[in-house]
Structure 1
Amino acid sequence: MTIYRTFTLLIEKFPRFSFINAIITLSGVGSIRAFIMTIRYLIEAQYVIVKEGNTEKILLNDDVNDLGDKISFNRIVVLLSGSSRAALGSNISDDASSNTENGSSSAQHEVKPVQNHVTALSPVLSAEGVPSPGWASDGALFKYSREAVRADPWRVKEWDWYQVSNSHVALQFTFGHASYAGQVGVMLFDFQKQKTIYVCDCILPVPVLWMKLDASAGEDSVLEYKKKGMWMQITTKEKGKVRRIACKTEEFECDVTLSRLNDNSIALVVPFKESENQFYFNEKINCMSASGKATVNGVDFIFRNASQTEKRKDSSISHIVEPSSKLDSSSSEAKESLLLDNSSEKEEQANEQDDNMKAKSEVGKDVCVDRADCDEAWGLLDWGRGVWPYHNEWYWSNATGRVNGKVFGFNLGCGFGETSKATENCLFFEGSLHKLGNVKIICDHQDYMKEWKLEDEEGRVALALSPTFDRKTETKMLWVDNCTHQMFGKFHGVVSLDDGTKLEIDNIFGFSEYAVNNW
Structure 2
Amino acid sequence: MARNHEVSKRHPLLGTDGELVEPGWSRSLIQEYNRSMIKAHKWRIKEWDYYLVLSDSFAGAFTISDDGYIGLQSVSLLVFDGVPWEHTETVLNAFPMGKLSLPTSSSSGTTTYVDKRLQMKFEVTEGKRHISCHFDNFYKSKPFECDIILEQPSMDSMVIATPWNKKHAFYYNQKINTMRASGFMEYDGIRYEFNPRTDFGTLDWGRGVWTYDNTWYWGSGNADIDGNSFGFNIGYGFGNTKAATENVIFYNGKVHKLDDVEFHIPKDSYLSPWKFTSSDKRFEMDFIPVLDRAACLDYKLIVSDQHQVFGKMSGTAVLDDGTKISVKDIMCFAEKVHNRY
CA deviation map 1:297-318 (0-9, x unaligned): 3221111212xxxxxxxxxxxx
Compute the displacement of 1:193 (Å): 3.7
Compute the displacement of 1:379 (Å): 0.3
Residue 136 in structure 1 maps to residue 26 in structure 2: yes
Equivalence for 1:270: 162
Map residues 383-462 of structure 1 onto 2, 5 A cutoff. 383-462=205-284
Map residues 242-253 of structure 1 onto 2, 5 A cutoff. 242-250=128-136, 251-253=143-145
Structure 2 residues not aligned, in runs of 5+: 137-142
Q: CA RMSD in A?
A: 1.5
Compute the displacement of 1:434 (Å): 0.4
Counterpart code for 1:134: G
CA deviation map 1:200-220 (0-9, x unaligned): 3211111114111111111x2
SS at match of 2:9: coil
Question: Taking structure 2 as the reference length, what is the TM-score of the superposition?
Answer: 0.94
Equivalence for 2:140: none
Residue 286 in structure 1 maps to residue 164 in structure 2: no
- Looking at structure 2, the residues matched to 199 and 514 of structure 1 have their Cα atoms a distance apart, in angstroms, of 17
Residue 115 in structure 1 maps to residue 4 in structure 2: yes
SS at match of 2:36: helix
Compute the displacement of 1:499 (Å): 0.8
Residue 149 in structure 1 maps to residue 38 in structure 2: yes
Structure 1 residues not aligned, in runs of 5+: 1-111, 307-375
Compute the displacement of 1:221 (Å): 1.1
Residue 232 in structure 1 maps to residue 120 in structure 2: yes
Residue 178 in structure 1 maps to residue 67 in structure 2: yes
- Looking at structure 1, the residues matched to 148 and 73 of structure 2 have their Cα atoms a distance apart, in angstroms, of 17
Map residues 59-98 of structure 1 onto 2, 5 A cutoff. none
Residue 257 in structure 1 maps to residue 146 in structure 2: no
Counterpart code for 1:265: S
Map residues 93-104 of structure 1 onto 2, 5 A cutoff. none
CA deviation map 1:106-160 (0-9, x unaligned): xxxxxx3552211110322111011130111112x11111111111221111110
Compute the displacement of 1:438 (Å): 1.6
**Cα distance change on mapping 1:457 and 1:113 into 2, 3 Å:** closer
- Looking at structure 1, the residues matched to 219 and 88 of structure 2 have their Cα atoms a distance apart, in angstroms, of 23
SS at match of 2:168: strand
- Looking at structure 1, the residues matched to 268 and 208 of structure 2 have their Cα atoms a distance apart, in angstroms, of 31
- Looking at structure 2, the residues matched to 446 and 383 of structure 1 have their Cα atoms a distance apart, in angstroms, of 32
Give the number of equivalent residue pairs: 334
Normalized per residue, the structure richer in strand is 2
CA deviation map 1:245-301 (0-9, x unaligned): 11113311110001125610000100012x031100000000000011111132211
Question: Taking structure 1 as the reference length, what is the TM-score of the superposition?
Answer: 0.62
SS at match of 1:147: helix
Higher Cα radius of gyration: 1
Moved over 3 A (4+): 192-199
Contact map agreement 2:69 2:96 (CA 8 A) in 1: yes
Identity of aligned residues (%): 34
**Cα distance change on mapping 1:422 and 1:194 into 2, 3 Å:** farther
CA deviation map 1:322-357 (0-9, x unaligned): xxxxxxxxxxxxxxxxxxxxxxxxxxxxxxxxxxxx
Q: 1:201 aligns with which of 80, 86, 90?
A: 90
- Looking at structure 2, the residues matched to 134 and 300 of structure 1 have their Cα atoms a distance apart, in angstroms, of 42
Compute the displacement of 1:453 (Å): 1.3
Counterpart code for 1:234: F
- Looking at structure 2, the residues matched to 431 and 154 of structure 1 have their Cα atoms a distance apart, in angstroms, of 37
Q: 1:503 aligns with which of 316, 325, 329?
A: 325
SS at match of 1:208: coil
Residue 221 in structure 1 maps to residue 113 in structure 2: no
Contact map agreement 2:150 2:179 (CA 8 A) in 1: yes
